[in-house]
Structure 1
Amino acid sequence: MNRRRFFLTALGSLTASSIFASCSQQSNQNSTNNTQTISQKEQKEVIKVGVTGILAQDILKFVNNNIATKEGLEIQVVTFNDWIQPNTALRDKVIDANFFQHRPFMNNASKELNLKLVALNTVYLNTLGLFSNKLKSVSEIPQNATVTIANDVINNDRGLRLLATNGLIKLKENSKQFVTQRDIAANPKNLQIKEVEGVQVVRAINDVDFIVSSAQTVALAGIEPNSMGEETAKDKKYALALVTLQGRENEPKIQKLNKLLVYPNVKDFINKEYKGRIIPVF
């Protein structure tokens, strides 16, 4: 993976991929073939899909190049550099769908942004781990160690629960649905827990003792993806889904992409390309 690709995101930038059959006919047929190519392009439905990272972008690129063009669909990818704008862009009809969030995150975003969002097919799961450039195991984590986790409600909850699973903190019994640092009952190592926007977590790895992130995210950042601890339950509710606005979910082009994302060769691509760091769930 190219390290630079993870860090370089361009808000609102568009990348579109189209493949057309090459022409090897004699010169007197060129005009006819060009007309046919233009006609093919005009007949394609274009769907704009928002993403926040290279994983979803690469999967959409694979679908576009290997499946979608045969089905008369052209996928245009719109890349955002935070986790808010892909949903507000749906509201503003800048994009038709997005592919960056799981259902719990979407449900919370719907409330916070006062949007009616709909999750369609789920595609892949990113599990969390504890990663460090300084430490090799949980037992090496020192007193007063610093750790960075995501600050959004859902992934903050996941991060804190992962720390608890690995014995680093203890959460209050009968905690609410989504825990925060206020729900920490014991912190024997006096961990200094720093919360940042999710897309910024991996960038803090050299400034703290360890981070809570996904294996694939740290791998894309050029970091050896060996986790000190992982989620014990690979809960499919955290699998990323194709999401759109309520009322648009039955539009033909959205339904077409929804079906293409769970084709068997997409699963083969994920397994071959990411070697278990992300898990297809269909």
Structure 2
Amino acid sequence: MSSNRDGIRTIIINRRYFLLGTGSAIFSVLFASCSSNKNQSTSTPTNSAVPASQQTSTIKIGVWSVIAEDILKFIQKELATSQGLEIQIVKFSDWVQVNNALKSGEIDANYFQHRLFMEDSAKRLNLNLVMLNQTYLTPIGIYSKKIKSLSEIPNGATIAIQSDASNQDRTLKFLQSQKLVKLKDTSGNLFTVKDIVENSKNLQFKELEGPAIVRGLDDVVVGAFLGSLLIQAKQLDLRPIVQESTKDKRYALGLVTLQGKENDPKIQKLNQLIIDPKVKEFIKNTYQDAVVPVF
């Protein structure tokens, strides 16, 4: 009898261990399953990330003139957003500050100058600047509210010209092409009024900055300046007596950045957008002959 009882007790104990072991195994499986589900529910699927091609990048562009500002606004509205580019326009009150802002890192690029102006600024500011795509040219014209032809310019007349170095050089070359003055050979340096060696009409030169030269037409016989200044002065109805040829792209304005940054993807993206055919049509339709696309 004792042997039978011991056998029965052993069977009962083994059953208990079996049930306990089975229960532990089931619990472990359930716990592992719950933990796995919890981790799956809180993790972010890798394929939910926004593709790089659809991400928006922001570029800061410095401008001085209303023309460049309007062109960039058109690009932002019509072209840039669909390309994942956000353009932040940083406007400056004069053209000296724009390259300084590039030097300090305040902006990524600027859009206001032609190659000769850029080269002169680079020397003065000790900067390595790069000209990318050129987009438009603003021809220099001779304007007047008092006469209608160059032959009417009286002896001793005062002529207003732009005071900055590159545009004064350009203006004097244009006046020489019209036989109003003759310049000495400066061996590649920029011309100034001091380089005039012949002045048959004894013209008196008044050097003015920016839009002030348009406003100053009331006080002079003629003025020689960029047609874009008429837009800023809201005098597009004023037509030139004679205008510079638009074939020379040396004076075409383009996108400029620091050397080493020209291959930045966002700069290159804008560099392509500024020569889009829609931009060409916008320039032609908006500015008439005061601004001419060159691409």
Give the TM-score band, short-chain normalised.
0.7 to 0.9
1:146 CA drift (Å):
1.1
Question: C-alpha distance in 2, partners of 1:123/1:200?
Answer: 25
Letter in structure 2 aligned against 1:279: V
Q: 1:19 maps to what in 2? A: none
* Equivalent in the alignment of 2:217: 205
Aligned to 1:251: 264
The amino acid that maps onto 2:214 is V
1:276 and 2:268 matched:
no
- Residue pair 1:127, 1:234 contacting (<8 A) in 2 also: no
| 1:236 equivalent among 224, 244, 249 | 249
Count of residues in Structure 1 that have an aligned counterpart in Structure 2: 240
* Counterpart AA for 2:267: I
Q: After TM superposition, give the deviation of residue 266 of structure 1 in Å.
A: 0.8
Contact 2:148 2:241 in 1 (8 A): yes
Q: 2:87 matched to which residue of 1?
A: 75
Amino acid at match of 1:218: L
Provide the residue aligned with 2:37 in structure 1.
Answer: none
Matched residue, 1:22: none
Structure 2, unaligned stretches of length 5 or more? 1-53
Aligned to 1:159: 171
Aligned match of 2:226: 214
Q: State the AA in 2 paired with 1:208.
A: V
Overall identity of the aligned pairs, in %: 49
Task: Give distance in 2, aligned partners of 1:212 and 1:112.
Answer: 25
> How far off its partner does 1:79 sit?
1.0
The 3-state SS of whatever aligns with 2:160 is strand
For residues 240 and 100 of structure 2, the distance between their equivalents in structure 1, rounded to whole angstroms, comes to 34
Q: How does 1:1-282 map to 2 (within 5 A)?
A: 43-172=55-184, 174-177=185-188, 178-223=190-235, 224-232=237-245, 234-282=247-295
Q: CA deviation at 1:182?
A: 2.2
Answer yes or no: is the 8 Å Cα contact 2:210–2:229 preserved in 1. no
Distance in 1 separating the partners of 2:287 and 2:93:
22
Taking the aligned partners of 1:48 and 1:219, their CA distance within structure 2 comes to: 24
In 2, Cα distance between equivalents of 1:191 and 1:123: 34
Query: Deviation string for 1:197-219 (max 9, x for gaps)?
Result: 34532232222222111223224
Structure 1: 4+ residue segments shifted above 3 A: none
With structure 1 as the length reference, what TM-score do the two structures score? 0.80
Q: Which amino acid aligns with 1:143?
A: N
How far does the alpha carbon of each residue in 1:185-235 deviate from its partner, in whole angstroms, 9 at most, with x for none?
Answer: 111111111223345322322222221112232244233331112224631
CA distance in 2, matches of 1:206, 1:260: 40
- Superposed CA RMSD: 1.7
Code of the residue aligned with 1:267 in structure 2: it is K
For 1:228-263, what per-residue CA distance to the aligned partner results, in whole angstroms no more than 9, with x for missing partners? 122246310110010011111111111110111011
User: What is the DSSP-based 3-state SS (H/G/I as helix, E as strand, rest coil) of the residue aligned with 1:266?
Assistant: helix
Q: Distance in 2 between matches of 1:253 and 1:150?
A: 34
Partners of 1:279 and 1:58 lie apart in 2 by: 15
Gaps of 5+ in 1: 1-41
Amino acid at match of 1:257: L
Specify the SS of the correspondent of 1:222.
coil
**Farther off after superposition, 222-231 or 264-273:** 222-231
Confirm or deny: 8 A CA contact 2:246 2:292 kept in the other structure.
no
State the distance in 1 between where 2:126 and 2:211 align: 23
SS at match of 1:67: helix
Cα contact 2:139–2:245 (8 A) shared by 1:
no
3-state secondary structure, aligned to 1:243? strand
CA gap 1:124/1:78 in 2 versus in 1, 3 angstroms: same
* Cα distance between partner residues in 1 of 2:228 and 2:119: 24
Cα distance in 2 between the residues matched to 1:240 and 1:206: 29
Name the SS of the counterpart of 1:101 in structure 2. Answer: strand
